[in-house]
């Protein structure tokens, strides 16, 4: 602790502590605060207190009730009195308690008297409102002073100081301005120069130049603390609250927000001005002047390091914090008549200033064709009137064409000294907003480059905040996920996610939260992430009847920046909704073939919705399960290669049948064997019909740019016509009636040293076929293992020696892995660094 010499004796320096409403909410809180104050060994301490939590609000409500002549007024005064009596009873010994209650009752009678006047005239003046709202600080400090005194552990004297006796302020357009000289003189009279001990000071309240009680504005106790810090030449100001410091975003909106270790005064001012409620924006000014560091610390975790606000800047991280201001209106003035006319802005803002309307943000197009500004929504009607009046002649003569007011907007501000001169910060802000589907209505960047502010639709506020916050790696990229179809593939995917989510969060800052699972009958929705280690129990525990619109709305909740629906069903009805979901900005990832093989018009609608919103639609696992087939095709096309022909074995089941069948057993018994091994669909005809292969071929054909319908594919079905409609058992039993022609085909092929394979192929000319073909025994398709898939791309670059992708192309685990990879690709597109 520093000291300074004065008149031969060394006078110790002051330290200021300020405790907010939540820190003094009740008796237990007050005791905690007393311990913090006592633990600080500084010999001279000023302790500035707010009213107990909620008391200022309650007092202001009394004023409104009186204006409305509400009969409950007296009860509400009594409630407030009783709350304070209750706290005092727990903390103060008999004599101090009686003294407190006596003063409290006197105050309550005064309050009732003032409110009686308000009730009669049905309107309260500002002075009356200020007078009433200031009682909370008087009561909290009196209790606390009594507590400190009675505990006797704080060292030195304990003195109560009514800030109204000291602080003289004058309200101007920029808020309350301190009359420093007079305040300093008055403080000297109240607190002796050689005082040693603790002064307990009322926050929030002051006296104006007419001698009337005033306040420093809502949340003004922070400002009181720094004013006293400056008046007392304190070495340190500590603002104690209910969070660990200034966080990188409002923790109620971004639970992952992190404590910022250090901020410059300017950064803290910007954050506070743009909505970081943890500190009042004017708090910094008095401290700047005297270079007093301000600490923000947690009353409920005093050991936590907290945030220091001082005169140094730390250039990293570039972005320290991101804030939002809600309930903003954006006023836009447009007109060719403003071009080149000097003083338009001056007239505009002059008119607003005269009406006392505070403008939060201004943005002017460089063409001077338009000016827009943001004001609090509550002032928007008045602002519009003022502007219309000020520009009445121009409006009548058409030099100004329009004045629009957009209500329900929010401002999002990105703050950091390090942003100045750094490249790509703005791009990142807009990139993050764009990928979260948030459009920007106005932009402002101060010349200091310490702040980029954007005006957005208020409904997008939380989503935008989270997206930008994670865009700067201040928190993980949070993705809200809904999974449809928790069957074999969907279930395997949820298990894979269960084992990886922690690692992804830790290593890559990707926070995947599965918040909904829907089956064909029921769905389970969860506000937070479903515990994936026990997703089966959660899902089985029941839920609501399935309603896919509600499901999508839930997954796409406003406060999540990104939403992904993973469709692991095989349902055409689910696929029918992709276009709608994509158009709402929900990303879709799926192994379901029904969307991309639907009628061309429906397919086009999906692609169109994706293009229109920029939402991602990924479906790698529709062909070849986890094999990189679609991605390879896309890479080939995007790099300008020309696709001439794609052919391959696209069905694990049919691959198995023809790989295994050597003619020694009948073909039908191989089919039965495959079914018993689980290699076929429950009804093997779904595989043998060739439709599944045809769908995959259509998906590839369309990916090549061909406009083909499923009906354009020539399909050779291996289901005999006579067995198309019977039951599954019947089918399996009677299949041997058709073994002879199959065997004949095999033997004839063998005679030429060929094999049979079930192949799909499509050429650039649009010819698409699926069926059994004879291939030389040396052909790559003749030499694959078990259920492998193989795809051969013949292109301009890979012409004589085509590109081949081969590997396991079926099974829940590999298919799920393909879907998982798509999901992570979406995260990477959204800005995650994987």
Give the interface with Mg ion as residue ranges (CB under 5 A). 20, 219
Asked if 22 is part of the footprint of ligand ASP (rule: CB under 6 A), the reply reads no
Largest Cα–Cα distance of the chain, in whole Å? 120
Nearer to Mg ion, 19 or 265 (CB): 19
- Decide which of ligand ADP, ligand ASP, Mg ion, none touches 252; Cβ closer than 5 to 8 Å per partner kind: ligand ADP
- Decide which of ligand ASP, Mg ion, ligand ADP, none touches 668; Cβ closer than 5 to 8 Å per partner kind: none
Please confirm, yes or no, whether 696 is among the known catalytic residues.
yes
Stretch that binds ligand ADP, among 18-26, 115-123, 312-320, 779-787 (CB under 6 A): 18-26
CB 591 within 8 A of CB 568: yes
Give the C-alpha separation, 320 to 424, whole Å: 16
Give the E-state strand segments of 2-95 in sequence order. 3-6, 9-12, 14-19, 44-49
Residue count at the site for ligand ASP (CB under 6 A)? 12
- Decide which of Mg ion, ligand ADP, ligand ASP, none touches 298; Cβ closer than 5 to 8 Å per partner kind: none
CB 132 within 8 A of CB 204: no
Three-state DSSP state, 463:
helix
Give the C-alpha separation, 70 to 66, whole Å: 6
Site for ligand ADP in 194-223 (CB under 6 A): 219
Give the C-alpha separation, 450 to 413, whole Å: 10
Nearer to ligand ADP, 277 or 559 (CB): 277
Q: Among residues 505, 501, 552, which one has the least CA distance to residue 531? A: 501
Site for ligand ADP in 38-57 (CB under 6 A): 50
CB of 42 to ligand ADP, least distance (A): 21
Asked if 247 is part of the footprint of ligand ADP (rule: CB under 6 A), the reply reads yes
CB of 235 to ligand ADP, least distance (A): 22
Query: Which of residues 203, 490, 648, 811 is near ligand ASP by CB under 6 A?
Result: 203
Site for ligand ADP in 249-268 (CB under 6 A): 249-252
CB of 554 to ligand ASP, least distance (A): 36
Asked if 278 is part of the footprint of ligand ADP (rule: CB under 6 A), the reply reads yes
Q: Among residues 569, 487, 500, which one has the least CA distance to residue 536? A: 487
- Decide which of Mg ion, ligand ADP, ligand ASP, none touches 291; Cβ closer than 5 to 8 Å per partner kind: none
Give the E-state strand segments of 20-73 in sequence order. 44-49
Nearer to ligand ADP, 467 or 700 (CB): 467
| Cβ neighbours around 378 below 10 Å, total | 9
Task: Give the helix ranges, DSSP H, for 679-809.
Answer: 685-688, 691-704, 728-734, 739-751
3-state SS, one letter per residue, for 730-741: HHHHHHHHHHHH
Give the C-alpha separation, 434 to 428, whole Å: 10
CB of 196 to ligand ASP, least distance (A): 28
Give the C-alpha separation, 461 to 457, whole Å: 7
Query: Which of residues 23, 141, 159, 221 is near ligand ASP by CB under 6 A?
Result: 221
| CA–CA–CA angle 746, 751, 752 (5° rounding) | 105
Query: Which of residues 141, 154, 215, 241 is near ligand ADP by CB under 6 A?
Result: 241
| Number of residues that this document lists for the chain | 834
Give the E-state strand segments of 717-776 in sequence order. 754-763, 768-776
CB of 239 to ligand ADP, least distance (A): 7
Asked if 136 is part of the footprint of ligand ASP (rule: CB under 6 A), the reply reads yes
Q: How far lies 449's CA from each of 195, 425, 540, in Å?
A: 45, 10, 53
Asked if 51 is part of the footprint of ligand ASP (rule: CB under 6 A), the reply reads yes
Q: Among residues 477, 494, 596, 476, which one has the least CA distance to residue 539? A: 494
CB of 14 to ligand ADP, least distance (A): 21
CB of 619 to ligand ASP, least distance (A): 54
CA dihedral 582, 588, 594, 595 (to 10 degrees): 30
CB of 247 to ligand ADP, least distance (A): 4
Stretch that binds ligand ASP, among 93-101, 218-226, 748-756, 813-821 (CB under 6 A): 218-226
Asked if 204 is part of the footprint of ligand ASP (rule: CB under 6 A), the reply reads yes
Among candidate residues 45, 509, 593, 696, the one labeled active-site is 696
Give the E-state strand segments of 640-723 in sequence order. 643-649, 714-715
Stretch that binds ligand ADP, among 65-73, 275-283, 527-535, 735-743 (CB under 6 A): 275-283
- Which residues pair with residue 625 across a beta bridge? none
**Site residues (CB under 6 A) for ligand ADP?**
20-23, 50, 219, 241-243, 246-247, 249-252, 276-278, 321
Can you give the binding site for ligand ASP, defined by CB under 6 A? 20-21, 50-51, 56, 136, 203-204, 218-221
Q: What residues act catalytically?
A: 696
């Amino acid at each position: 602790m520093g000291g300074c010499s004065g008149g031969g004796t060394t006078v110790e320096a002051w330290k200021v502590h300020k405790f907010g409403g939540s820190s003094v909410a009740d008796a237990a809180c007050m005791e905690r605060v007393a311990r913090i104050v006592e633990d600080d060994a500084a010999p001279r301490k000023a302790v500035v207190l707010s009213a107990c939590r909620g008391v200022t609000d309650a007092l202001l409500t009394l004023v409104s009730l009186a204006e409305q002549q509400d009969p409950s007024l007296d009860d509400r005064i009594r409630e407030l009195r009783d709350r304070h009596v209750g706290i005092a009873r727990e903390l103060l010994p008999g004599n101090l308690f009686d003294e407190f209650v006596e003063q409290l009752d006197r105050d309550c009678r005064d309050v009732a008297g003032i409110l009686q006047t308000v009730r009669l005239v049905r309107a309260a003046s500002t002075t009356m409102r200020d007078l009433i709202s200031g009682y909370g600080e008087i009561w909290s400090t009196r209790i606390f002073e009594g507590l400190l005194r009675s505990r006797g552990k704080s060292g030195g004297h304990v003195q109560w100081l009514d800030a109204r006796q000291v602080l003289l302020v004058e309200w101007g357009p920029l808020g309350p301005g301190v009359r420093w000289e007079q305040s300093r003189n008055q403080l000297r009279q109240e607190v002796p120069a050689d005082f040693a001990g603790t002064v307990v000071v009322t926050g929030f309240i002051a006296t104006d130049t007419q001698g009337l009680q005033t306040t420093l504005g809502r949340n003004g106790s922070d400002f009181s603390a720094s004013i006293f810090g400056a008046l007392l030449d304190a070495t340190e100001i500590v603002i104690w609250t209910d969070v660990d410091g200034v966080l990188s975003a409002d923790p109620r909106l971004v639970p992952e927000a992190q404590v910022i270790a250090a901020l410059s005064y300017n950064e803290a001012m910007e954050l506070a001005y743009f909505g970081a409620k943890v500190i009042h924006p004017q708090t910094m000014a008095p401290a700047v002047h005297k270079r007093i560091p301000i600490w923000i610390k947690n009353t409920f975790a005093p050991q936590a390091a907290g945030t220091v606000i001082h005169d140094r800047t730390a250039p990293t991280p570039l972005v320290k914090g991101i804030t939002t201001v809600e309930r903003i209106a954006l006023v836009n003035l447009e007109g060719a008549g403003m071009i080149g006319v000097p003083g338009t802005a001056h007239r505009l803002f002059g008119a607003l200033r005269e009406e006392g309307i505070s403008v939060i943000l201004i943005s002017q197009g460089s063409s001077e064709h338009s000016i827009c500004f943001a004001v609090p929504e509550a002032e928007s009607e008045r602002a519009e009137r003022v502007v219309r009046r000020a520009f009445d002649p121009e409006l009548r003569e058409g030099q100004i064409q329009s004045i629009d007011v957009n209500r329900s907007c929010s401002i999002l501000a990105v703050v950091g000294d390090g942003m100045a001169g750094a490249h790509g910060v703005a791009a990142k802000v807009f990139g993050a907003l764009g990928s979260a589907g948030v459009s920007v209505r106005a932009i402002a960047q101060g010349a200091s480059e310490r702040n980029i502010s954007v005006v957005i639709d208020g409904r997008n506020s939380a989503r935008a905040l989270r997206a930008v916050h994670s865009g700067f790696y201040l928190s993980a990229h949070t993705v809200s996920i809904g999974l449809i179809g928790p069957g074999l593939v969907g279930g395997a995917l949820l298990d894979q996610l269960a084992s990886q989510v922690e690692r992804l969060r830790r290593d890559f800052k990707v926070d995947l939260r599965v918040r909904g699972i829907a089956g064909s009958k029921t769905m389970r929705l969860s506000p937070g992430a479903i515990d994936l280690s026990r997703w089966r129990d959660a899902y089985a525990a029941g839920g609501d009847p399935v309603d896919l619109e509600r499901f999508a709305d839930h997954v796409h909740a406003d406060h999540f920046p990104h939403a992904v629906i993973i469709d692991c069903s095989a349902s055409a009805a689910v696929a029918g909704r992709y276009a709608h979901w994509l158009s709402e900005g929900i990303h879709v990832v799926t192994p379901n073939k029904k969307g991309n093989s639907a009628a061309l018009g429906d397919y086009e609608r999906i692609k169109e919705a994706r293009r229109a919103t920029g939402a991602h639609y990924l479906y790698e696992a529709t062909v070849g399960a986890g094999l990189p087939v679609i991605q390879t095709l896309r890479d080939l096309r995007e790099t300008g290669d020309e696709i001439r022909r794609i052919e391959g074995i696209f069905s694990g089941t049919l691959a198995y049948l023809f790989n295994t069948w050597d003619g020694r057993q009948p073909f039908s018994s191989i089919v039965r064997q495959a079914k018993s091994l689980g290699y076929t669909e429950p009804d093997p005809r779904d595989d043998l019909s060739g439709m599944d292969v045809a769908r995959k071929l259509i998906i590839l054909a369309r990916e090549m740019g061909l406009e083909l319908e499923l009906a354009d594919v020539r399909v050779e079905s291996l289901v005999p016509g006579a067995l198309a409609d019977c039951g599954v058992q019947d089918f399996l039993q009677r299949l041997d009636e058709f073994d002879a022609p199959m065997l004949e085909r095999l033997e004839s092929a063998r005679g030429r040293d060929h094999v049979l394979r079930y192949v799909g192929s499509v050429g650039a000319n649009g010819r698409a076929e699926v069926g059994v073909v004879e291939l030389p025994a040396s052909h790559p398709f003749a030499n694959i293992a078990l259920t492998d898939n193989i795809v051969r791309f013949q292109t301009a670059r890979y012409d004589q020696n085509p590109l081949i992708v081969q590997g396991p192309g079926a099974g829940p685990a590999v298919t799920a892995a393909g879907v998982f990879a798509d999901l992570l690709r979406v995260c990477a597109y959204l800005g995650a660094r994987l």
